Every structure is written in structure tokens, then in C-alpha cells.
Chains A and B, each alone.
Chain A
Amino acid sequence: MWHKTFAGMLSGLIVMILVPSIISLIFPQLVGLILALGLVFALSAWAGVMTWCYGANTNKQAWLRAAKAAIPTIIIFIGVFLTATGPTV
């Protein structure tokens, strides 16, 4: 249970923060709207990723699921962060 909890919580946190960040960096003119949708969908995604990890058969599978959600998100974010200008206020 501890493994599943930490795997889900950590990768859910990464997904929750980075997915709206990626979209905001690509579409900086929509950052307000993305942040608004993020309040509903990003927070739900955090719980969703945790639920997915709790559904795993083993601890190892839970960490694999967490990695499947988090690693592509991190790679895409780094790519977008280094190339996109992002919003200017």
C-alpha cells in the first residue's frame, strides 16, 4: 500500500502540475483558461493517477504505471520549456 500510495501521489503530482504547464507554454494566450480548467481537471487527474496506481497488481507494477504517466510528461515538458516562450505579463 505504501508503494502504491507514494507512486501514485508522486506521479499524480507531476502530471497535475506539468500537463497544464505544457499546454500553457504552447498556448500562452489561453493561460487563464487553462489554469481555470486545471483547478477541476488537474486536481482530478492527481486523484485519477493515484487510483490507477492503486489498481496495480504489485508494487512494481504501480511504480511502472507511475513512470508511464510521469516520464513522458517530464520529457515533453522539458522540450516545451526550452523551446516555447510562454506567457508574458
Chain B
Amino acid sequence: MNKETLKNLTHAHAWLGLIISGVLMIVFVCGSISFFRHNITQWDSQYHAPAAASGEVVPVSTILDNIAAQNFAIPAHHNLLIALPSAEQPYYYTAFETETADGHHVDHQLNFDAVTGQQLPFDLDTFYLSDMLYNLHISLLLPYGTEIVGVITLLFFVMVMSGLCMVLKKMISHFYQYRTNRNKDTYLDGHTLIGVSSLPFTFVFALTGVMFNLSIVLQAGFGFAVFKGDIPALIQTAGFFQFPQVEYSGNAVNNSQVDVILKKTQTQYPNQAIKIINIYGAGDENGEVEVRLHEQNSLVPTTYLTYKLKDASFIDEYNSKQAPTAATYTVLSNLHFGEFGGITLKFVYFILGFSCCYLILSGNLIWLEKRENNRQQSKRGLAFVKAMTLALSTGTLIAVACSFIGARLTSISWDRTELLPTLFFCAIGVSLLHAIFNSMQRQRVRLAMVQQLFVAALLFTICPIYDLINTIFGHTTHSYQLLDVVLVNAMLLVVAGFCFTLAQYKRRGLVKNSAFDDTPKPILE
């Protein structure tokens, strides 16, 4: 690769990084935290969740009868999802959609006691924090957010490739190089070291990010070019699971056949766990039951079995291994979510996700360092980039911390789908204003960064302290949620410790001549 090409790629790498850094930072911070999505839901609901009932678990048919007694208008081709009680969630969770007379769909989510079968006054959807963080990760909670994140991910993919081209020749010989005498070198060496070390991870994330958000373009183009616009034929060829298409017959059947189906399935597949069942046309002669078997520590973990509701006869078995496209999609998805391992793998993914945040931040700092030495550079433009970098690095952390506090301290009666996103974006806005105010006064950006890091550290410790005080004053976390509560609070404390350490490090001025290093000494030292 000639020098000119490398120079062009470096130029593109720097500018693309700067342009997409804001969105990418939110995507990576929220994505990293979303590895603990289920744990956060349990943490969020710990003061309201029902206790685990002891005794014999009632059969699924009892739950179906309870739902049927409430006369919900569930369309036959829509699923009635039932998650069976487990050690992590010791009650029946059900979710379904009803159709109103004017064709609108309304979501319902009901929980039932595993022993008595009675409906619980508890709605998991109330605890919106984990869903909000995940939605921020995939769509930024914006209209057309999925497409925006898709394009940003494509540009991130280009940055991974251009970065690889830039370090290709020196990848091995300079791998351990970490110069600490000049800040520009420290940032650059850290950027390269972490970038090269986490390359397989960033490659998978860039690829799967494009796949999730933009593969619809490939699907549509391929469908028209090869299948002459016959998209259902393309989907059939791709081999994804086809959901049962059921029409109501009007003849009622007993739901007890579902119990027979579950017993039969568990006998046939003793090594796989039944986690979820979906019922189409519940209580009707034409109804079908889809049982999902889950195999632990597998890249293709789910097997779908379909049965007839009226006589429990077997219809079909599906596993995405049967079709190359579906299998590839499933494997890549599992590589993205880190679902094929345990808690250790999730922590590794979490740390790798945050290391990508460091890549984004250090990339911006290298850009700023270079531009600060350029006298022709617009000072106002530079101040804006400094403020944006600050708001979208420490500001995002503050916003996440505020969301956790909002979820923990506000009343359950408040609508969290409105409250938490407002808190999140307001926190980023305040952080941006604080950064802009300080960047206009030149010399004070580094101090602003230290202040914001201290604030983030303080905010991240509030929820663990609150939980600790409650525990001291007699609150007992349900045993099935204990691990989740400890895990999430540990994660919050780790992030708080990271913010505090970095703030101290910056405050002491250990790193000199950084992009934010122009704070007057008397203020800091």
C-alpha cells in the first residue's frame, strides 16, 4: 500500500471517527450495559417482584384457562407467549396482543403465580430501564433510528478496515509499543494497542451491526435480482422459522393437551430446557402449539417443535442448522449478544465493549491534539469538538447513571417510558452545556472533564448505596434475584471506580500536554 493511500485512509479514518463518534459512543455504552439486560430487569424490579412460591407448579393449562376466562380477543395468527417458571423467574410470564374493533393492536403482559395460578399484580413492562438502554443501542429512540444506526455501523466497519490497513505493516513489530512520554503518543499507542487486540470483537460487531440494521437492503436487492421480486420465496430459501398460520374454526378444545405436549417433549428431549411456548389459536380445534427448546452454551441454541392443540400430535421440528442462511444469521447473532456463555463471557464482552468506547474517545483526543498545534484551525470549531467529545463521553456516562437513579428512586406509578429517556437526554444536554461553557473559556476544558468524571462516579455509587442501606434496614432481596442485584450493583461500582480513578489521574495532571491539558495549573494543582 503506497504512502498516499495510507495518508488518505488516515484522513478518512480521523474524520469519519469524529463525525460518528457521538452516536457510536451512545451505541457502545448502552450496548455494553445491555449484555446484562435480563439482570438489569431483575435488579430494577427487586422491590416489587413477587416472592418465589414453594409447592407444586400448576400446569400451563390452568394459566390458559385463567386467560381465556378474561375473554381477550387474540387474533388466531398472533401468538400467546408463555414463559415457564424457572429458577431465575419463578412465576408464569405471559405476553400477547389483542385486536380492537378498528384493527388496532394492544399489548398485554400478565404474570401468574406458579403454585396457585392466580394473576399477580406485577407487570415486568413497568421496569423500562433495560429496554430503554437496549433501544438506545439499536435505534437511539429516534424515528428511523435503526437505519441511522445501520449507516453509522457501516461507517464504523469502514473505520475498522481503514484502521487495519493503517497498522497492517507494523501490527506485530509495534504491538507492545506504549510510549508514555508524550500524550499524543500515549493516546495513539493506546488506540492502536486496544484496536488491534479487540479486532475480532470489533469486526464481529461491525459486521453484525450492519447485518441487523441494513441486511434488509441485501434481502430486497437479492429478492428482486434473483427471485424476480418473490420475497416469500427468498425467505423460504433462507430457511428461517415459519410461524404457524392458524384460522379459528369456532370449535373449542380443552387446553389440557398443552400439558400432554410439554410432558411428551420433556421426555423426548431430556437434555434441553423448555423455556417458552407459543400458542396460536388457543382453545380452538385448529390451534397449534410451538415449543422452544433451549440448549445451553450453544451457538445455535433454539429448537422449535410444533404440535396440534386438539390431539397433541407432532407437526414439525425446526432448527436453524437445517438451512445455511438461517444458521449463519443465528451464529452471528449469538456472537453479537454473547449468549453462548455464562457470566464470565458477559463480563469479557462488557469490558471489550467499553474498550471500544476508549477507542472512540482516544481517537477524538488524537484528532484534537493534532488540530491544536495547527494555527489555521478555527478555535470555535475546535471548542465545539472539545465540548462534543466531553459531552458524549463523560456526558453519556452521567446520562446512564441518571437513568439508573431514576429507575431506582422514582415511584413505580410514574410512566418510566417517558421519564427515563427524558432524564437521559437532559443529562447529556446539561453535560454539553457545561462543556460548551467551559470550552469557550479556553483553558478550562480539562477541569470540566474532571468535574464531570467526579459527578459520574458519584452518581454511579448512589444506587448500590441505596440498596445497601435498604438491606441494612431489613429489606431482603428474593433469592432468585440476588445474583442479578449483586451483579448489576458490582457493574455500577466498577464503572464508578473507573470514573473516579480517571478523574483523579486527570486531576493530578499525570498526563501532560493532552487535548484537555490547557487548564491553568493553579486551578488543578
With A16-B218, A51-B162, A55-B9 as contacts: A36 and B225 at CB distance below 8 Å: no
Query: Is residue A31 within 8 Å, beta carbon to beta carbon, of the partner chain?
Result: yes
Beta-carbon contact of A54 and B12 below 8 Å? yes
Main secondary structure of the interface of B (DSSP, over half): helix
B221 surroundings in chain A (CB, below 8 A)? 13, 16-18, 21
Beta-carbon contact of B158 and A50 below 8 Å? yes
Complex Cα distance, B206 from A44, in Å, reads: 9
Q: Which of A24-69 contact B (CB under 8 A)?
A: 24-25, 31-33, 35-40, 42-44, 46-48, 50-51, 54-57
A57 surroundings in chain B (CB, below 8 A)? 4-5, 8
Query: Is residue B239 within 8 Å, beta carbon to beta carbon, of the partner chain?
Result: yes
Additional A-B contacts beyond A17-B222, A32-B323 (19; CB < 8 A): A1-B15, A9-B154, A16-B221, A21-B225, A25-B225, A35-B222, A35-B238, A38-B218, A40-B332, A42-B218, A43-B207, A43-B211, A43-B214, A46-B154, A50-B154, A51-B161, A54-B16, A55-B5, A55-B9
With beta carbons under 8 angstroms apart, the residue of B158, B237, B323, B325 that contacts A89 is: B237
Contact with A along B319-345 (1 / 0, CB 8 A): 000011101110010000000000000
Complex Cα distance, B154 from A43, in Å, reads: 9
Query: Is residue A87 within 8 Å, beta carbon to beta carbon, of the partner chain?
Result: yes
Query: Is residue B157 within 8 Å, beta carbon to beta carbon, of the partner chain?
Result: yes
Using CB atoms, name the residue of chain B closest to A14.
B221
Beta-carbon contact of A32 and B161 below 8 Å? no
Of listed A1, A8, A18, A31, residue having the most chain B CB within 10 A: A31
For chain B, give the interface size range.
Answer: 35 or more
B218 surroundings in chain A (CB, below 8 A)? 16-17, 38-39, 42-43
Contact with A along B4-19 (1 / 0, CB 8 A): 1100110010011000
Q: Can you show 17 pairs from A to B with CB atoms below 8 A apart?
A: A16-B221, A17-B222, A21-B221, A25-B226, A32-B237, A35-B324, A39-B215, A39-B218, A40-B207, A43-B157, A51-B9, A51-B158, A54-B12, A57-B4, A87-B227, A89-B230, A89-B233
Using CB atoms, name the residue of chain B closest to A42.
B218
Complex Cα distance, B323 from A63, in Å, reads: 38
B157 surroundings in chain A (CB, below 8 A)? 43-44, 46-47
Residues of chain A whose beta carbon lies under 8 Å from any beta carbon of chain B: 1, 4, 8-9, 13, 16-18, 20-21, 24-25, 31-33, 35-40, 42-44, 46-48, 50-51, 54-57, 77, 81, 86-87, 89
Query: Is residue B210 within 8 Å, beta carbon to beta carbon, of the partner chain?
Result: yes
With beta carbons under 8 angstroms apart, the residue of A24, A31, A33, A43 that contacts B215 is: A43
Beta-carbon contact of A46 and B210 below 8 Å? yes
Complex Cα distance, B226 from A4, in Å, reads: 29
Beta-carbon contact of B239 and A32 below 8 Å? yes
Contact with A along B213-234 (1 / 0, CB 8 A): 0110110011001111010010
Query: Is residue B482 within 8 Å, beta carbon to beta carbon, of the partner chain?
Result: no
A16 surroundings in chain B (CB, below 8 A)? 217-218, 221
Beta-carbon contact of B12 and A24 below 8 Å? no
Complex Cα distance, B157 from A9, in Å, reads: 12
With A1-B15, A48-B161 as contacts: A54 and B222 at CB distance below 8 Å: no
B238 surroundings in chain A (CB, below 8 A)? 32, 35
Beta-carbon contact of A20 and B215 below 8 Å? no
Query: Is residue B495 within 8 Å, beta carbon to beta carbon, of the partner chain?
Result: no
Beta-carbon contact of B8 and A56 below 8 Å? yes
Complex Cα distance, B228 from A36, in Å, reads: 19
A25 surroundings in chain B (CB, below 8 A)? 225-226
Using CB atoms, name the residue of chain B closest to A54.
B12
B323 surroundings in chain A (CB, below 8 A)? 32
Query: Is residue B165 within 8 Å, beta carbon to beta carbon, of the partner chain?
Result: yes
A1 surroundings in chain B (CB, below 8 A)? 12, 15
Using CB atoms, name the residue of chain B closest to A16.
B218
